[in-house]
Structures are given as structure tokens and as C-alpha cells.
Chains A and B, each alone.
Chain A
Amino acid sequence: MTTDQCIKCGGCEQSCPVVCVEGIQSFSGPRTLAVDGPRFSVEINRLRDHIMKCTTCWKCEEVCPSRIDLPQAILEIRKVMFDPLKMLPGHRRIVENVDRFRMSIEPEGGAPPAPAGERGEVMYFPGCISRERIPSIYRGTVSTLEKVGTDFGVPKGWVCCGAPLEKVGDRDRMESLVEENLRTFEGFETIVTSCPGCTTQLFNHYGVEPLHTIEYLYESVGLNKLSFRHAGDIKVAFHQPCHLSRTIGRHAMDYALALLQEVPGLEVLELENADMCCGGGGGVVAGHPDVALDLANEKMSSFSDSGADLLLAPCPFCVLNLERAGGSNVREFVTFLEAFLE
């Protein structure tokens, strides 16, 4: 990958959600961090402060006329700069949690028991947040898979997918998780995930082709096999998670809207900047919670302008971060659908 193809159009800075909300003094933006910084040896400590504010939303790569993979370049710099003694407190917590619990977060307990199954047609990989922080997502997804008649199980001994460690820059630890997980994946044909972060991580680092639940419902189950009861006239807005729409692909957004259209009594309202990052990605919630909260507030203000009753987000991390911004009307997409699925 070369960053030398930069034509200095500034498109990445103009479209960067963190630059837009925090200002370029606080976050110097994709071009400075990924292109100019390494080239002109911008003082490493200044880079260190800013580089952890990137939410890896991949918007800059999308708008770049030269298609420079700026977020990947930023992740490479994080890897090079990784120093266990200089981690942000929140990032240190992630690393410690992985060492202690094999999860990026400390388990709170109270998560429902896993469905049995070390073999089966489909493996459900719930991810840390669905399993331990918002177990309703876990329950909703398990119930969805049961309702559509999937032969599935949750692999015994699965651990964090490692995506948070990649964002922190700790690749060695990440690789150890990859090896650990791959051993538990044996015997399953298809992998279904709830979290776009896990989906992307499995896709990029595990050599497998996981399906996000939305992809699974649309592609493997099929719209003709899904029937929904009347939703009782609810207006919803749809937030497009970065790691689903930009790293897994736009097809997932098309599928999501097609699924919503299947539910009678549901009206989907337009959400301004629907694909703008909510602040939940890139390790920013842990590293710079104030930045993540500012972005979440921005998203919630677009939501309140939309006039919808509920904001749907097919990503546990987005839901978690939006709830921090007082988003009591935020629902995880599949969990929401499950309530009407017959």
C-alpha cells in the first residue's frame, strides 16, 4: 500500500467525522496522520496523541480519489507505535481484560447460557459485547436462529475476536486470540456474527467468510422464508454501522432495508448522515471516551431530527456507544426484528 498517491484534495479531512466534530486541532485528520506524518517525521508524541482518536470508520478511504487505504495505514502506524508502557488507560484495560478473561471487556455475569453445540451447520459467534454487555442482543439472535430453524451452536471456548487489540496496536496478542479461536471453529460450516467488528476481523485475519446476521437472514434464509407480524405502526431510522457498510460492503445495507420492508406496519424514515460514524469504533470508546461521546451525541441529534420513534443499529458497539449518549430509543437491528418474527 502506498500513501504517495495522495493528491492533497483534502477530501478525507472534509469527510472525517472526528475532524468534523472535534476540530482539526484536536484530531489532525487522516491525511496528516497517514500521509504527511510518517513522511515528514511529525513529532512522534504528537502523532501518538491524535492517532488513537481515529474511529477507523473507513469514510476517508471511501472518499479518497486515489483510493488510499488511510485507515489501514493508521492501523499500521498504531502497530509500529505500540508500546505497552504508553497505552491509554482504556486501552490498557482492554489488554488486561484479554489476559484475564480472554474478552475485551470484564464479564458482568448474568449472560444467558450458551446453546449447546460444538458441531453443527452454523456457528454463532456472539462477540464480547453481545455476550457480556448487552445480552439482549445475544438472546435475540439465538431466538432468531431458532425461529428460522437453523441448526446452530456457539463454539465452546471461543474468545474475543481480537479486533480491539488490532485497534490498540497490539498485534502479537491479537494473533494469539486468532489461533485460539480457530481451534474452536472446527466442525462448523458457516459462521454467523452479530458484530460488524467481529465480522470484519474474522474476514481479514481468520481466512474465513463469516456472515453478519443480516447477511445470513437475507442470503441463507431468504426473504420468502421470513414472516413478520404487524409492528403496530412504528417509525424507525436506520444507522449504518461503518464496519458493516464500508468494510463488509454496501450490500449489507441494501439487505437491511429489504428486511425492514418485510415488516408490516413499519415505516423507515430518512436519517441525515446515516453512514456517519457514531464514534463506537477504532478503540475510541475506551481510549478517548469524550470523543466517542461527542460523535454519539451528533448521531442522536440527527436521530431526533428524523422524527422516528426508534433508531436501529445492526452493531452491538454502536448500540453501546449510542446508549452512552442517552439513546434509550436505540435498538440492535436483529433483536428488534426478532420481536416481530413469526
Chain B
Amino acid sequence: MAIRPTPPMDFDCLVVGHGAAGLLCASRLASRDVKVAVVGTGETSTSLSTGCINVLDQIESDLIDPNVLASQFPYSLAGKDRDEVIMVLEDLYSFLIPDLEMQGLPMRGNPLSIRRMLTSLGTPYQCSIPQIYNLRGRLEHISEKGTSLLGIMGHRDSDPDLASRMIKSTLDMEIRPFWTKPSSFEGRTDLTACEVSRLAKRKDLTDELAEAISEVEGELVGIPPVFDLSGYQEGMSFLERSSGKEVFELVTPLSLPGRRLQAAMESMARAKGCTMLLGWRAFDVEIVNGEVTGVVLNSRSREARVDLSSIVLATGDSVGGGLTLKGQSVLEPLMGASCTLIGEDLRTLHAEDLVELSNAGVEVDSVLRPRCSGEIIANAAVAGSVISGFSYPSGGGMGAAMLTSWLAAQTIMEVVG
């Protein structure tokens, strides 16, 4: 592997990982005039997600008690009392939400209140800040209005018959399923959401959909995801205008909504002035006397060693490659940061053992710094689901991951002054 001249790589902070945690952290740093670069490759968990921001995974009432938040990790890091926590959350969301809207992704909600909506399978789903056309389909709105679901034949994220049966059995609500078969699909079936979004850029598909929506019963109609980020606002408002109905999007993972959030956050980071090194891979971090001094980046046939004055580790969990498993240990491969231990009696693939396994991750101190070989690394911070306790399915959700990245940026700002 040759080390040859590379593009100028001169920055104060390198954020490793380009999912929601990495991009938010980098954007916050860039907005404070820190020279920051984001390195990452591949699909992020953010782009595979529902693209909705949830703040806690287990909530009983419609409102989250800030006192409860203040007692829970990572919210406890934001402050000791409810007012401090609320202030940090307000800062975070007043930074993020307008910028996402500027990039074409309006999201609505409040971190402290819970919205209940429907997934594409007809199961209930709750989160704090959904995308705007998910929010149109909140449960109380659905029950007030005459609501139908419209399936698009050939779209693989679409099964209103199944969804309708699930809604009946889990929520005891009657929502009638309808189907449309767009001729612009030209007989193709099992289309991925990305194919649908490509076809949706042609006027004939959106026209056909608008007509089908106008013909189904009810004044509120639920559809599967159809538009990518560039077509989202214009496309959905066109469907509403042309059909004369309110249209909502069913909450759908592994589809377009997560990709929208990913794309909007990448654009946000670029707009804030972050250098995006997407396609490069960080694979070795040098640590001298408890401080990170450099990183080796790789672009397949080139390596570049870059001096660093700070680093943010936002590499994701074991699914995203931020953590690897070795025997009964979880390892953080890039820095060798200490991880939580998995119980010694972990010998089965039973659910409780798997939860323990997925809970494992990098251990951090009160300002999210990692520890390597027993030493706290002064100029590093950890963000997102690589932190112990944050990995899906037991993590606190994207909102909690974003909070860690917001606070990690704080730690780095103090390091780079």
C-alpha cells in the first residue's frame, strides 16, 4: 500500500462515522468555527432507520417527564436537574430542526412529547420528532378522520391488507385498505423504494397516484414512502393538492425515510463547512501519552497519515462495524477503547444474552471521553450507538444518540479551544 501525496487534510477535529451522531457532532463543531472533517463509508444505521427521532424507547404517557430524563443516561450528562436537561435539548433541536428543513426535510415535534403513528405493517409506533408526513398519520388524527390506506401494487414496502388487519387486531380501529396499480410501473413488481422514488420523479406516476388517492374513501389517506429527499416536500404536497385529501406516510424502516434523514444531515454538514471524506476509511489511531496524535486513513489504494488534535468516535455499533466481537469480548477496533464486559456465563444465543451482547460498547466518562489501556484519552470523545448501552435494540433511540453527539461536540470544543 503506497503512501503518496493526498489532498490537503488539515483540520482540528476528525469525526469518524457519518451517521446521525457523526454528522450532528461535526455540524455543531463546524458552526463554532472548528475545522472539522467527517470520514465514513457505507450505509449508516441512520439511513436504514425510520428517519424519525425518538428520545426514549420506553414511554408510558404522552409527555416525557424531564425529571425522568435527568435521571437517565445520557440525559443525566446534560445536567443534574430538569431545567438544565430541557435547555440542552432545546439547544440541540433548535440547531437541528431548522437546518433539516432548509435541506428539504421538515420534521415536527417536541423532544418531550410523544407522537403515536403507524408503521407500514400496521403496528403502532411512537417517537418524539417524526417527518412531517409521518406526523399527518398520528393515531388521534387517524381516528378523528375517515382514513384509508392506499397500497401501491409492485411497491415492496406496501401491504395495506396486512396493515389493516394488524390495526384491527392491535388497536381495534377500522381502516380500509385500497390498492392502485400504476401503469407507469410498466408491470414491474417488487420494486424497491429507491426504484419507486426514481419513477416518482416522472410526472405520470405522481399524477396516477394523486388520482388514485382522490378516488379512495375518506379524507385522510396513508401511503408507503414514494419520494426521496429531493422530491419529498414538493411531491407530497402535490399529492395533497391534486387529490384534495390529506396524505400521510406510514412509518417505514429500511426504506426512503431513513435515506432522507441521512441525505439531509449530509447536506447540513456540508453547508456548515465540514470536509466530507466519504469513501475514505479510518483504520488506525495513534495514541501517545493519553492523547490522540494522528490517524491513518485509507482510500483502497492509498493511505494517508494525518496529524490530529482531536477525534470523535461515532462509528456505530457491531452492526455498523464500530464494534467487533471476539470470543466473549466486544472490541472497539479503531482506538482499542475499553468496552463493557459481557458476562462470563454468556454461552447461549438466548434473547437475554443477546440483549446483554448488544448492550456492550465503549465505556465513557462524564464528558464522553473513552479510555484506552487504562488511561482517559483527553482529546477524544465518543458519540452515538458505539457507546455502551446505546446499540439497537436496547438503546435509547436516535434522540439519545444525537444527545451524546451534541455533548461530545461540547467536549471537543473545550479541547480545541
Q: Within B315-338, which residues are at the interface with A (CB < 8 Å)?
A: 319-321
The 4 residue pairs across chains A and B that have the minimum distance between CB atoms:
A249-B299, A250-B279, A249-B300, A63-B43
Bound-state CA distance A282–B301 (Å) is: 20
| Interface: A44 (CB within 8 A) | no
In the complex, the answer to whether B302 meets A251 with C-beta atoms within 8 Å is yes
Interface size class of B (residues with CB under 8 A): 35 or more
| Interface: B373 (CB within 8 A) | no
The residues of A that contact B259 with a CB separation of less than 8 Å are 14
The contact of B42 among A13, A65, A251, by CB within 8 Å, is A65
Stretch at the interface among A3-11, A99-107, A141-149, A313-321: A3-11
In the complex, the answer to whether A20 meets B195 with C-beta atoms within 8 Å is yes
In the complex, the answer to whether B193 meets A14 with C-beta atoms within 8 Å is yes
Secondary structure class of chain B's binding surface, majority of residues: loop
Most A CB within 10 A of own CB, among B48, B230, B300: B300
Known contacts: A9-B48, A9-B254, A251-B6. The answer to whether A245 contacts B192 by CB under 8 A is no
A residues in contact (CB < 8 Å) with B: 7, 9-11, 13-15, 19-21, 23-25, 62-67, 203, 209, 215, 218-219, 222, 245-255, 258, 272, 298
The contact of B43 among A11, A23, A222, A251, by CB within 8 Å, is A11
| Interface: B280 (CB within 8 A) | yes
The contact of A24 among B6, B190, B304, by CB within 8 Å, is B190
The residues of A that contact B279 with a CB separation of less than 8 Å are 62, 245-246, 249-250, 253
The residues of B that contact A209 with a CB separation of less than 8 Å are 2, 301
Bound-state CA distance A67–B230 (Å) is: 28
Bound-state CA distance A311–B388 (Å) is: 47
In the complex, the answer to whether B43 meets A9 with C-beta atoms within 8 Å is yes
Bound-state CA distance A297–B45 (Å) is: 31
29 A-B residue contacts at CB 8 Å?
A7-B319, A9-B48, A9-B254, A10-B254, A11-B43, A14-B255, A19-B194, A20-B192, A20-B195, A20-B198, A23-B188, A23-B191, A23-B195, A24-B191, A24-B192, A65-B320, A67-B42, A67-B321, A209-B301, A215-B4, A245-B279, A249-B279, A250-B278, A250-B279, A250-B280, A250-B299, A251-B299, A251-B302, A255-B7
Q: How many A-B residue pairs have CB under 8 A?
A: 96
In the complex, the answer to whether B195 meets A19 with C-beta atoms within 8 Å is yes
| Interface: B41 (CB within 8 A) | yes
Within the complex, the shortest CB–CB distance from B203 to chain A, in Å, comes to 14
Within the complex, the shortest CB–CB distance from A335 to chain B, in Å, comes to 23
Within the complex, the shortest CB–CB distance from A144 to chain B, in Å, comes to 19
B186-215 to A contact mask, C-beta < 8 Å, 1/0: 001111111100100000000000000000
Within the complex, the shortest CB–CB distance from B323 to chain A, in Å, comes to 12
B1-27 to A contact mask, C-beta < 8 Å, 1/0: 010111100000000000000000000
Bound-state CA distance A176–B268 (Å) is: 51
B26-53 to A contact mask, C-beta < 8 Å, 1/0: 0000000000000001110101100000
| Interface: B277 (CB within 8 A) | yes
In the complex, the answer to whether B42 meets A248 with C-beta atoms within 8 Å is no
**Which residue in chain A gives the minimum CB-CB distance to B193?**
A14
Bound-state CA distance A215–B5 (Å) is: 10
The contact of A64 among B43, B230, B298, by CB within 8 Å, is B43
The contact of B302 among A9, A15, A64, A249, by CB within 8 Å, is A249
Known contacts: A7-B319, A14-B193. The answer to whether A218 contacts B5 by CB under 8 A is yes
In the complex, the answer to whether B194 meets A20 with C-beta atoms within 8 Å is yes
Within the complex, the shortest CB–CB distance from B97 to chain A, in Å, comes to 25
The residues of B that contact A249 with a CB separation of less than 8 Å are 279, 298-302
Bound-state CA distance A64–B300 (Å) is: 16
Within the complex, the shortest CB–CB distance from A296 to chain B, in Å, comes to 15
**Which residue in chain B gives the minimum CB-CB distance to A210?**
B301
**Which residue in chain B gives the minimum CB-CB distance to A248?**
B301
In the complex, the answer to whether A254 meets B41 with C-beta atoms within 8 Å is no
The residues of B that contact A64 with a CB separation of less than 8 Å are 42-43
Bound-state CA distance A64–B42 (Å) is: 6
